[in-house]
Amino acid sequence: METIRGKKSLEVDFSGWKDRLGTYNRVLLDLGTGDGRYVRTLAEAHPDWFVIGVDACRENLHEHSRAKLQNMLFIIAEAQDLPCELHGLVSHVAINFPWGSLLESLLTGDPALLHGLESVARAAASFDLRLNGGALTEAGTTLEAGAELIHNNILRAGWQVKAPVTMNASALRSFPSTWAKRLAFGRDPRAIALNGYIK
């Protein structure tokens, strides 16, 4: 499993990894973390949580991964091929404003993504998924239609999903991620949030 701090790959001793994470109240995985601002914000605000950011693009992570927080880790990996070291450890999954291959996997109900998330999740792990209109338009659908399709895909996977919640520009401005701020002041400041539990 490749991890990163700043511009350097970081060696992590995974012996006792499960025991270490077991001392935290929550282990949160932010999938497709982008620049990692969301992960760093949560790690700083909640020292009793362990927060993990996963992204395939290492260049975006240089700034926020520099912070020397004991309860934060950034992993370089594809969303569809999560590291086996995470299996059974995650109590909450966040996917914030996905695009590219991650969004495509959600739209198609990709088993590699959904089964991978199930494998890293603890029993009754919760999830939050936030979708934005611009990314879904680029993917060839609308915000509403794309959200409904993804909602149905994760229901078919056996996950419990609550009713969608609309996020307006104000909600986006207050959300602690760089991308949310850009969306709030962009041409299409709309998003939909889905949340529930992984089976």
Residue-range domain boundaries for the chain: 2-197
Are 28 and 103 in contact by the 8 Å Cβ rule? The answer is no
Question: How large a percentage of the chain has pLDDT more than 70?
Answer: 99
d(CA 177, CA 20): 27
3: pLDDT confidence band, cut at 50, 70 and 90? Answer: confident
Mean pLDDT score, 165-184:
90
Average pLDDT in the 13-36 region? Answer: 87
What is the per-residue pLDDT for 196? 97
Q: What is the mean pLDDT of residues 11-29?
A: 83
Answer yes or no: are the C-beta atoms of 168 and 133 closer than 8 Å: no
Least confident of 50-54, 117-121, 175-179: 175-179
For residue 127, what are the β-bridge partners? 93, 196
pLDDT category, 150, cuts 50, 70, 90? very high
Alpha helices in the chain (DSSP H): 17-21, 37-45, 100-108, 111-120, 133-138, 143-156, 169-174, 178-184
**pTM of this structure:** 0.93
Average pLDDT over residues 121-141: 95
**Residue 8: enclosing H or E segment and its boundaries?**
strand 8-10
The confidence score (pLDDT) of residue 109 equals 97
> pLDDT digit string (tens) for 67-123?
889 999 999 999 999 999 999 999 999 999 999 999 999 999 999 999 999 999 999
Identify which has the larger pLDDT, 116 or 60: 116
Q: Which range is least confidently modeled, 7-21, 113-127, 171-185?
A: 7-21
DSSP per residue, 52-67: EEEES-SGGGTTGGGS
Class of domain 2-197: alpha beta
Q: At what angle do helices 111-120 and 100-108 cross, to 10 degrees?
A: 100
